[in-house]
Amino acid sequence: MKKITWLSIVMLIVSIPTFAGGLLTNTNQHVLFLRMLARNASTEIDAVYSNPAGIAFMEKGWHFSLNGQSAYQTRKIISTFAPFAMNGQQETKHYKGEASAPFIPSVYGAYVTDKWSLAGNFSISGGGGKATFNDGLGSFESIVSMVPIIANTMSGLLPGLDIPKIDKYSVDSYMQGRQYIFGLQLGATYKVTDYLSVFAGGRMNYVSNKYTGYLRDIQIGFAGSDAMVSAPQAFGQLANEVPAAYKSSVEMLAGATADKEVDCKQKGWGITPILGADFKMGKWNVGVKYEFRTNLNIENNTSVNTTGFKDYDHGVNTPHDIPSFLSIGASYNPIPEVQLAVGYHHFFDSNARMANGKEQYAGKGTNEYLGGVSWNVMKWLQVSAGMQRTKYGVQDDYQSDMSFAVSSYSYGLGAGFNITPKLQLNIAYFWTKYDTYTKNMDDYNYMTNKLEALGIPSTIAQAVKMKGQDKYTRTNKVFGIGVDYRF
């Protein structure tokens, strides 16, 4: 009979986006994005990322920018599953994860001439922080919550196996994930005509992830008693008391409820080819950028893995592609002091390889719609604001409490201060209002499949099949400050 490994089922890769953008892509690389959002047709220093062909229309000479952002996010999961009532008498439980990235730097540089321009930047191109779930997650607890039900069902279905009824359980669970994708972008822009420019370049992406978690001190309580006892010890003792034919089944439960722990780091890298074009005439400017899919694998560097789950063994590789990305934007200056801008993003999520073939549930990809306005109030002051609608195309089978994508509205506002004619200080505040995604399941978290895969007889797994529901949402806020300098 296969060994049950609770943590091996629930310890999936955690997605920790603390920025705007797609499933693995951060688009708010500069404080000017936080201030206005619709930067797809920019011809300022942030164009190095948002519209690289647009740097051809910047003032000739050197341009530099240094930015710092602080991002804070909470993840809220409301899980409803009947067996939870055996731990706290509530079928619905609230799980909260805190994600933070106190300092996210980005650096930009560009050299602009009449025809050719060179530019580059360094930023956190994906991920951007760590998320901590001090009380674990519903996907952790749901499997532990099945221990009493499995034991009681086995006792009822297998003649001669007399296990006292279990009606309580408890568990100490914890999960923390950290995810960063560091991006170094370089490229060249050529001014074809006075109205048209093109760009070619690439970004080297380096992935650094770390996941730690555990399930400890699983306890059970027998009907008629308020006492809680160690589950592995209780099952181990029962294994010596039941008929020999059932000894291995009870020993399986004893091993299953032993402490489980994982400590795994992941590394990997890949190159993103990038092409762009910009058309500028009069009061109008239009920018287009296409980032190709990044072929990327991450390799485990595991120091602890007592789960028995081979995917977390040292040296194992997992696909972790960054989806291709199309960006289109236009800006218009009705008067010299005012700029209006719109933009559109599409992430081709289903074409990117993901762990366990998850891309097949990514739907038709992610769409984002952006709008913004900027106003030069006076010679030394500029104010701006914008919004973005993000619509994910993911299906139910993509979503889990450890990695979910929720459509949202994002808003940003800020100001730019011209300290000198060549030095500008930017400050901004950006926040996101997320929808709530509800996932109803006839078989909560595919419990029967998990139990069968772990060696539980199909008759018992089917007998304990239960409905459940998860609701996912988030909160997010980002503060940014940066300086732009040219000479």
- DSSP class per residue in 80-110: EEGGGGGTTS-SEEEEEEEEEEEEEEEEEEE
Alpha-carbon 332 to chain mean position: 34
For the residues 195-215, what does the mean pLDDT come to? Answer: 95
- What percent of the chain has pLDDT above 90? 66
Two structure tokens written together for 124: 């956190």
The full set of domain ranges for the chain reads: 6-486
Indicate the range of 24-28, 226-230, 265-269, 316-320 predicted with least confidence: 24-28
- Residue 277's identity, in one-letter code, is A
pLDDT of residue 146 exceeding 50, the answer is: yes
pLDDT of residue 19: 54
pLDDT of residue 12 exceeding 80, the answer is: no
Interacting residues of 237 by C-beta distance below 8 A, sequence separation 6+: none
pLDDT band at 420 (very low <50, low <70, confident <90, very high): very high
pLDDT tens, position by position, 357-401: 889 999 989 999 999 999 999 999 999 999 999 999 999 999 988
pLDDT of residue 4: 42
**What Cα–Cα distance (Å) separates residue 345 from each residue in 250, 369, 468?**
54, 7, 35
For the residues 35-45, what does the mean pLDDT come to? Answer: 97
CA dist., res. 309 & res. 445, Å (int)? 18
CA dist., res. 41 & res. 349, Å (int)? 23
Q: What is the CA radius of gyration of the chain?
A: 27
pLDDT tens, position by position, 424-462: 999 999 999 999 999 999 999 888 887 776 667 788 888
Length of the chain: 487
pLDDT of residue 457: 74
Between the CA atoms of 343, 37, 269 and 175, what dihedral angle is there, to the nearest 10 degrees? -120
Contact 314, 301 (CB under 8 A): yes
**What Cα–Cα distance (Å) separates residue 169 from each residue in 222, 228, 456?**
9, 8, 19
Say which DSSP state 350 is in. Answer: G
Q: E strand or H helix at 148, and its extent? A: helix 138-157
CA dist., res. 196 & res. 69, Å (int)? 33
pLDDT tens, position by position, 310-363: 777 898 998 989 999 999 999 999 999 999 999 999 999 999 998 888 899 999
CA dist., res. 250 & res. 15, Å (int)? 36
Say which DSSP state 2 is in. Answer: P
Indicate the range of 169-178, 268-277, 385-394 predicted with least confidence: 169-178
**Residue of 452 and 474 predicted with greater confidence:** 474
Between CA 82 and CA 87, with CA 86 as vertex, the angle to 5 degrees is 110
Rounded to the nearest integer, the mean pLDDT of the chain is 90
* CATH 3.40.640.10 correct for 6-486: no
**Residue of 322 and 247 predicted with greater confidence:** 322
**Residue of 302 and 154 predicted with greater confidence:** 302
CB crowding 119-144: b at 16 or more within 10 Å, else e: bbbbbbbbbbbbbbbebbbbbbbbbb
Two structure tokens written together for 326: 């199309």
pLDDT of residue 10: 44
CB crowding 244-278: b at 16 or more within 10 Å, else e: eebeebbbbbbbbbbebbbbbbbebebebebbbbb
Task: Return the half-sphere exposure (C-beta side, CA atoms, 13 A cut-off) of residue 455.
Answer: 14
pLDDT band at 1 (very low <50, low <70, confident <90, very high): very low
CA dist., res. 393 & res. 456, Å (int)? 35
CA dist., res. 56 & res. 193, Å (int)? 10
Between CA 428 and CA 434, with CA 429 as vertex, the angle to 5 degrees is 145
pLDDT of residue 128: 67
CA dist., res. 371 & res. 369, Å (int)? 7
pLDDT of residue 242: 85
CA dist., res. 439 & res. 330, Å (int)? 37
Q: Which residue has the tokens 């970004």?
A: 203
**Residue of 85 and 16 predicted with greater confidence:** 85
Q: E strand or H helix at 218, and its extent? A: strand 196-222
User: CB neighbours (10 Å) of residue 89?
Assistant: 8
CB crowding 292-308: b at 16 or more within 10 Å, else e: bbbebbbbbebeebbbb
**What Cα–Cα distance (Å) separates residue 479 from each residue in 18, 69, 70, 328, 384?**
12, 6, 5, 26, 15
CA dist., res. 152 & res. 130, Å (int)? 39
CA dist., res. 205 & res. 269, Å (int)? 5
pLDDT tens, position by position, 101-115: 888 999 999 999 999
Two structure tokens written together for 217: 């001190």
